[in-house]
Amino acid sequence: MTATESNFDSGYSHTFPAIRGVQAGRSFYIAMCPMRIIPKIFMFDEEEVPATLRAQRVLNRNRIPELSSYLVDNPDGYVLSALTASINSEINFLPAADSGPQANMGMLSIPMDAQILINDGQHRRAAIEAAMNENPELGFDNVPVLFFIDVQLQRSQQMFADLNKYAVRPSTSLSTLYDHRDSSSDLARYLALTTLPFKGFTELEKSSISNRSTKLFTLSSIKHANRALFRKGAKDAFTDEERDLAASYWQAVTEVISDWQQVVDKKVAAAELRENYIHSHGIALQALGVLGAELLQKYPKDWRRRLVKLNSVDWSRSNADLWEGRATIHGRISKARSNITLTANVLKNKVGLELSEDEKTLEQKYGT
pLDDT in tens, 263-286: 999 899 999 999 999 999 999 999
pLDDT at 102 over 50: yes
pLDDT at 244 over 90: yes
In this prediction, residue 55 carries a pLDDT of 53
pLDDT at 4 over 70: no
Residue 87: pLDDT band with limits 50, 70, 90: confident
Residue/partner pairs of 307-313 with CB below 8 Å, 24 or more apart? 307/252, 307/253, 307/256, 307/351, 308/256, 309/350, 309/351, 309/352, 310/253, 310/256, 310/257, 310/347, 310/350, 310/351, 311/256, 311/257, 311/258, 312/350, 313/279, 313/346, 313/347, 313/350
In this prediction, residue 222 carries a pLDDT of 96
Percent with pLDDT over 70 in the chain: 88
pLDDT at 152 over 90: no
pLDDT tens sequence across 58-83 = 667 888 898 999 999 998 989 998 98
In this prediction, residue 53 carries a pLDDT of 43
pLDDT tens sequence across 200-212 = 999 998 888 988 8
In this prediction, residue 159 carries a pLDDT of 67
In this prediction, residue 1 carries a pLDDT of 39
| Average pLDDT estimate for 223-242 | 94
In this prediction, residue 117 carries a pLDDT of 79
- Burial grade of 251 (CB within 10 A; 0-12, 13-18, 19 or more): middle
Contacts of 212 (CB under 8 A, 6+ apart): 271
Distance between CA atoms of 261 and 216, rounded to whole angstroms? 11
* Prior bond of 197 cis (ω within 30°): yes
Average pLDDT value for the chain: 86
pLDDT at 167 over 50: yes
Contact call for residues 132 and 126 (beta carbons, < 8 A)? no
| Average pLDDT estimate for 126-144 | 92
pLDDT at 223 over 80: yes
pLDDT at 144 over 60: yes
Contacts of 242 (CB under 8 A, 6+ apart): 187, 230
In this prediction, residue 2 carries a pLDDT of 39
Percent with pLDDT over 90 in the chain: 52
pLDDT tens sequence across 287-346 = 999 999 999 999 999 999 999 999 999 999 999 999 999 999 988 998 899 999 999 999
